Structure 1
Amino acid sequence: MAASTIALIVSTFYILLTSLIAYWSRKYVNYYTQRPFLRSLFLEGIATAELCGACFELIIIADNWGVSMYAIYLFLLTIWWSINWEDATACPYTHLEDFIEGKKSIRDAFLLIWAQLVGGLAIFRYIQILWALEIVQTHKNRAFDDCTTDLQVPVIVGAFIECIATCLCRIASRAIGEMNSRFGSVLDSFIGTSLVVLAFNYSGGYFNPALATSLKYGCLGTTFMEHVIVYWVGACAGSIASIRLYKTPVVQKFIGKQQKSQ
């Protein structure tokens, strides 16, 4: 068997292992945690850890087998996450949206975002252990090597890309959720993955502040403020804009037509 095939199998195994650990962790939390909000905190942390853990390995896949292979894995994983995460989102701006719409207090939104960041940042130690084993060549020197930014365009352009793509993602997700489409999760995953691929060579296509911070904060090529502007301000601005744009007559008319055609 070719070395590259073995390396891909190992990367796939690491992703599956991470997902399996997260799956059973959720089962444990749901069984033993009785307080709803505390359960939500744990589930957000677990979901973000699973997301970031898988995406660390997706970086390896993208570097060695290209964006197309990366997109296939991301598409399938996104469907898996939509099925298994329940109410967890692993994304800070969803709680920001809930606060703006009056569905959550600022305290609850802040704590849920904090739980996401804890889960996302903590998972790297687990990934370091797996990479440090260096079972395959693709993991050689990755555990403790300096990372580099994915931002390949000026900061303002990167923030604009993250803003627009996040806005489109959120509008699509809301519309698909409201239409209750039979293949909603597949369609949502396809749209999200397509936008990630389109932005991949420009900003990295994160559209998620917790994910971007967990994977790329402190990497060579961007300062703290540049990271915040692109991946936090850009994405959150797009999310907030999606709330207003979703309520516009054009979008609502389109959704109405789709619901009638079902």
Structure 2
Amino acid sequence: MSGLNASLGYFLAAIIFAASVRTFLRKWPRFSFILEFASSFMLVACWLEVQTIVEVGEWAGGLGRDVTVTMLFVVLLTHGLVCGGASGNPTLVVLNFLQLEATTLPTVLAIAAQFLGAHLAILVAVYYWSLELTDMHMIKNLMARECSTSLMVSVLQGFFTESVCALSFNLIYLNVQHRSVLIRAPLIAVLLTFLSYTAKGYTSSYINPSLAYGLTFHCSGFTSLEYAVVYWLGPLTGMTMAVLLYMGHIPRIFARNLLYFQKTRFRVPKGDKKKL
């Protein structure tokens, strides 16, 4: 239980940091890209600890699969509620760009901030493990340099898996993106938790380039280019297909609807016939 208490304290610290940044930046909306930095940091930092519990806690700390699934869901739900519109996911930032909801510079700054937040989360997590507050973290500290990759299949299979998962996720996201956060956050948290554990023996279905960068790019087994094909190109491909299927076109590229015939809502009234 002490190991779980240490993890909860770590989660709480990451959540407080993200919430503090969001509160502070309300006065300076032009620096909203920093919200993506905090959002990505919180997501990667917390997921790294959940990953630790999955890899080590189940046999070193007596924490079963039900605990890890619950903790991942709570982390994702809290992330959605605390970070609000800041997704911490580069593919969703690009999605807004393709929908003409964001311009080039804010998109580039947001993506850069997300990867910077993910990298900082790695450094913080490694330092946290080095403190060896529990037996679980002592073992994780010894294993930190020899982590196991999340990509358990070939690059082609991994690319296909991430693309399909990203397609499914983004189609649902597009349908709920303008709903209340109290509705959107639980649905997204359930969906991501389900996809993560469904694809556990394949890619773990991160469908988030900055999250994958923080969780598995530093692990041996594949090159950085192979990881990029699976965890960057795969989600971007699935997201682009989702936009095309949802809207019938990609507004940033095609102005004309390529898939659906849109009928006008209103009938054009016919001119009155002249009376003889």
TM-score by length of 2: 0.81
Give the CA deviation at 1:67. Answer: 4.3
- Do 2:14 and 2:46's aligned partners in 1 also have CA atoms closer than 8 Å? yes
Could you say which residue in structure 1 is the equivalent of 2:44?
52
- Residue matched to 2:112: 114
User: What's the CA shift for 1:225?
Assistant: 1.0
Where do residues 57-136 of structure 1 align in structure 2 (5 Å cutoff)?
Answer: 57-63=49-55, 64-65=57-58, 67-136=65-134
2:34 aligned residue? 42
- Provide the rounded CA distance (Å) in 1 between the counterparts of 2:169 and 2:40: 18
How far is the alpha carbon of 1:150 from its aligned partner? Answer: 0.9
d(CA) in 2 for partners of 1:158, 1:240: 17
Quote how far apart the aligned CAs of 1:205 are. 1.9
User: Does the C-alpha gap of structure 1 residues 139 and 99 become closer, same or farther in structure 2, counting only changes over 3 Å?
Assistant: same
- Residue 16 of structure 2 corresponds to which residue in structure 1? 20
SS at match of 1:142: helix
Q: Which moved more, 1:179-188 or 1:87-96?
A: 179-188
Q: Does 1:203 align with 2:203?
A: yes
Q: Which runs of 5+ in 2 are unaligned?
A: 59-63, 249-259, 261-276
Q: Secondary structure at the match of 1:165?
A: helix
Letter in 2 for 1:21: F
**Structure with higher helix content:** 1
Once the 2 structures are TM-superposed, how far is the Cα of residue 227 of structure 1 from its aligned partner?
0.5
Q: Which residue does the alignment assign to 1:170?
A: 170
SS in 1 for 2:140: coil
Asked if 1 retains the 8 angstrom alpha-carbon contact of 2:198 and 2:204, the reply is no
Distance 1:108 1:172 in 2: 25
Task: Tell me the distance in 2 between the aligned counterparts of 1:82 and 1:137.
Answer: 31
1:29-73 Cα distance to aligned partner (Å, 9 max, x none):
334xx2x232x1211000000001101101111112354432211
**1:132 and 1:141 in contact (8 A); partners too:** no
**Rounded Cα–Cα distance in structure 1 between residues aligned with 2:178 and 2:43:** 25
One-letter code aligned to 1:88: A
Kindly state the Cα deviation for residue 145 of structure 1 after the two structures are TM-superposed: 2.6
In 1: Cα distance, 2:25 partner to 2:84 partner: 13
Aligned amino acid, residue 244 of structure 2: R
TM-score where L is the length of structure 1: 0.85
CA contact (8 A) 1:147 1:220 kept: yes
Q: Are 2:17 and 2:38, in contact at CA under 8 Å, matched by a contact in 1?
A: no
Partner of 1:214: 214
Which of 5, 8, 14 is matched with 1:9 structurally? 5
Q: Larger deviation: 124-133 or 19-28?
A: 19-28
For residues 243-254 of structure 1, what are the structure 2 equivalents within 5 Å?
243-247=243-247
Whether 1:145 and 2:167 are equivalent positions in the alignment is no
* Count of aligned pairs: 241
* Structure 1 unmatched ranges of 5 or more: 253-262
CA contact (8 A) 2:18 2:82 kept: no
Deviation (angstroms), 1:223: 0.3
- Looking at CA atoms only, which structure, 1 or 2, has the larger radius of gyration? 2
SS in structure 2 of the partner of residue 140 of structure 1 = helix
Q: What is the percentage of aligned positions where both structures have the same residue?
A: 24
Contact 2:15–2:42 under 8 Å retained in 1:
yes
Change (3 A) 1:184 1:87: closer
Structure 2: how far apart are the matches of 1:124 and 1:198?
Answer: 25
Counterpart Cα distance in 2 of 1:213 and 1:120:
7
